[in-house]
Amino acid sequence: MVVAVTTVPRKLRLLCLHGYEQDSDIFRTKLRLHMARLCDKVDFVFVTAPNILSPYDIDGMDNMARAAAEKSGKTISRELRGWYALKSASPEVVFGLDDSIVFLKTVLADQGPFDG
């Protein structure tokens, strides 16, 4: 006698890492159409980078804009995030990458495994 075993396929788990000057909420919004189409097959797990960027780290902030921001005491209205920030272009020096690696190792240990 042959018994047929029916198994429900397991959902894929995807770790979603946002881009520079974003966070998990922004990335979730960008992927909302894909998430709607794949919700029965994929679990999307979003995390936010641990590094808060300062105005100096954000694209388009040139020296004049930096000086103007310093004089007026203005701040950014929301926290922009990055997995690292460029401290110097020549020589290229970044900061925050080590913190991000430690953070992601914790995410993998606590929330993994992930399929992609």
pLDDT band with cut points at 50, 70 and 90 for residue 91:
confident
Chain segment 12-46, per-residue pLDDT in tens: 999 999 988 888 888 999 999 999 999 999 999 99
Q: In the structure, what pLDDT confidence band is assigned to residue 98 with cuts at 50, 70 and 90?
A: very high
Do 21 and 81 contact (CB within 8 A), yes or no? yes
Of the candidates 47, 51, 46, 44, the one whose C-alpha atom is nearest the C-alpha of residue 21 is 51
Q: Are 11 and 43 in contact (CB under 8 A)?
A: yes
**What is the signed CA dihedral for 31, 32, 37, 42, rounded to 10 degrees?**
60
pLDDT at residue 110, rounded to an integer: 97
CA distance 84 to 100: 7
Q: Which helix (H) or strand (E) holds 51?
A: strand 51-52
Where does the pLDDT of residue 76 fall: very low under 50, low under 70, confident under 90, or very high at 90 and above?
Answer: very low
Place of tokens 């950014």: 76
- Region 81-93 average pLDDT: 78
Q: Tokens for 19? A: 């881009």
Question: What's the whole-number mean pLDDT along residues 51-73?
Answer: 61
Tell me, what's the pLDDT at 103?
Answer: 97
